[in-house]
Every structure is written in structure tokens, then in C-alpha cells.
Amino acid sequence: MSIAAVIAAIAVPSATSELRDYRLSSDASSVAGVLNVTRMKAASQYAPYRLNLYTDTGTYTVERLCGATPSSIDANCTTAYNPFTTPQLDPAIGTQYIAPGDSYLACHPAAVTAYPGSVASDPSGCPGVGPNPIRIYFNTRGSPVDGAGNPLTTGVVLYITNQNNMVDAVTISIGGRAAVWSWNAGGGYWSMR
């Protein structure tokens, strides 16, 4: 009986840690998949879309933006990249959740010394702190743009961390391709999954 207790005392923390690492990988893959869907919706619907990532609640939603809708129909539609007065959230995707203990970051964590893929710097002001969401926009061709519709020059990155200080990243290239990366803390480099 005591041998089984010793084995359980060793195995349970290890299994819990492995489960957290698996959830981090799963969260990164899920966000990458939803980014690809958001990109395809923007191109197929010929309307700008954005992914809203809420750091305070660990949730994300896909939202259709005003596009060519005139302000005479919706007063909030003064530019193509404004949201409708009543948010047009995608009902097929709904609100998605990341695993408890995982969190989003728009800027690389302090322990990470390099950027994944073609990303060369953090965004100005590191958006997404507190109740302000991180927003990733796509134009009507499915290319990532800033909130005013200007093309990006280096792409976008979203970092996801967990309680084990592991870091994954999801990048969107300037062409719109989403990729998932894992940070190798021992080697100090990113590897694409």
C-alpha cells in the first residue's frame, strides 16, 4: 500500500503538468484554426472581420465589421473597420474559452528572447491588458490588417502561456497564413508545429 502511495505521489504532479502542457498546445491550435476560419469568412463574405481575444476572461469571439454598410443603415458604420452598433458575432463559432490557467499576451513574455516567424517586434503599447481585448483584423481579401485597414508589414503574433511557464505562439503572416510555434526555453528558439 505504501509503495502505491509513493508512486502516486510522484506520478500525479507529473501527470497534472503534462495535462497543462497539452492544454496549452490545444489552445494554440484552436486559436490558429479560428483565425483561419475568420480569414476565410472575411474573403468569402467580402466583409472585414476581426477576432476579439479577451485576456481578462480567457475567451475569444469572431465579429463581422461594418465593411460597406453605410452610416444611414447603422450609425456606427462611419468606417469599414468599425463594429456594428449591435455586435455581429459569428453564431457558428460563439464564445470560445481557453484552458483555466492559460493566458493571452500580445507582447512576448519576459523569458522569451526571440520572435517567432516573420514577426520582428511587439505591437505599440502591448494591447490586451485588462478588459481591453486583443483584436486581429482581416480585410475583404482575407489579409491581416490593422484596425484602420492598413496592411501589416511583419504579420501578427499572439502568445499563450500556462502555469508551467511554457509559451506557445500563433502567428499570422502578411499573406494570412496562421502557424503555431512552441518556445524551447532550453535552446532559446521557436519551433513550428
Question: Going by DSSP bridges, is the β-strand pair 167-172/83-89 parallel, antiparallel, or unpaired?
Answer: unpaired
The three-class DSSP label of residue 6 is helix
Residue 51: what pLDDT?
96
Per-residue pLDDT tens for 31-77? 999 999 999 999 999 999 999 999 888 899 999 999 999 999 999 99
* Domains of the chain from N-terminus onward: 2-192 (3.55.40.10)
Is the model more confident about 133 or about 15?
A: 133
Mean pLDDT score of the chain, rounded to an integer?
A: 87
* CA count, 13 A, side-chain hemisphere, 140: 8
pTM for this entry: 0.85
Q: Would the pLDDT of 131 be above 90?
A: no
Q: How far apart are CA 188 and CA 35, in angstroms?
A: 27
CA distances from 48 to 27, 42, 107, 183 (A): 24, 5, 24, 31
Instruction: Tell whether the model's pLDDT for residue 11 goes beyond 60.
Output: no
**C-alpha distances in Å from residue 105, one per residue of 8, 64, 82, 150, 156:** 35, 23, 23, 22, 12
As a whole number, mean pLDDT of residues 140-160 equals 90
Q: What is the pLDDT of residue 15?
A: 47
- Which three cell numbers mark 70? 453605410
Q: What is the pLDDT of residues 66-106, one digit of tens each?
A: 999 999 999 999 999 999 999 999 999 999 998 888 888 88
